[in-house]
């Protein structure tokens, strides 16, 4: 589902300039897309195709993602996605953790419940 992946904000250096950025997907095929690095304030694409997404499997991959830091007192980067089905299927040895973190508008972090998969 194109336009369904977005990240929280973080710092990233492009051409020796520090930007506040986020990740956003862009449809490139019937079931595939790329992940672009975009300026938080202008939405301009700073780095295109920094990653890929397969909308059928839900697999998101990054080629070279090297954040320069986090926004305020946030210590992670979160990917948010809209899904077609409410069922989450995993293989064995995967723990799902519900996170009821608070929203942070500065870092573009959404509030409410999110699910984290931890592979053991």
The alpha carbon of residue 6 and the mean position of all alpha carbons in its chain are separated, in whole angstroms, by: 5
Region 54-77: mean pLDDT is 85
CA distance 52 to 32: 7
Per-residue pLDDT band for 120 (boundaries 50, 70, 90) equals very low
Whole-number percent of the chain with pLDDT over 70: 66
Flag whether pLDDT at 56 surpasses 90.
Answer: no
Domain boundaries, the chain: 5-119
Rounded CA Rg of the chain: 15
Contact between 40 and 18 under an 8 Å Cβ cutoff? The reply is no
What are 4-42's pLDDT values in tens digits? 888 889 999 999 999 999 999 998 888 899 999 999 999
| Cβ count within 10 A of residue 97 | 9
CA distance 90 to 117: 9
What are 76-87's pLDDT values in tens digits? 888 887 766 666
């Amino acid at each position: 589902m194109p336009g369904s992946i977005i990240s929280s904000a973080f710092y990233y250096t492009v051409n020796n300039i520090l930007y506040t950025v986020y990740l956003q997907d862009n449809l490139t095929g019937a079931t595939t897309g790329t992940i672009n690095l975009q300026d938080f304030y202008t939405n301009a694409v700073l780095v295109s195709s920094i990653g890929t997404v397969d909308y059928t499997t839900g697999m998101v991959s990054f080629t070279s993602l090297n954040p320069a830091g986090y926004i305020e007192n946030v210590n992670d980067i979160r990917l948010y996605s809209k899904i077609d089905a409410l069922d989450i299927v995993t293989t064995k040895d995967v723990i799902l953790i519900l996170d009821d973190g608070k929203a942070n508008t500065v870092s573009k972090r959404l509030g409410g419940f999110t699910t984290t998969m931890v592979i053991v």
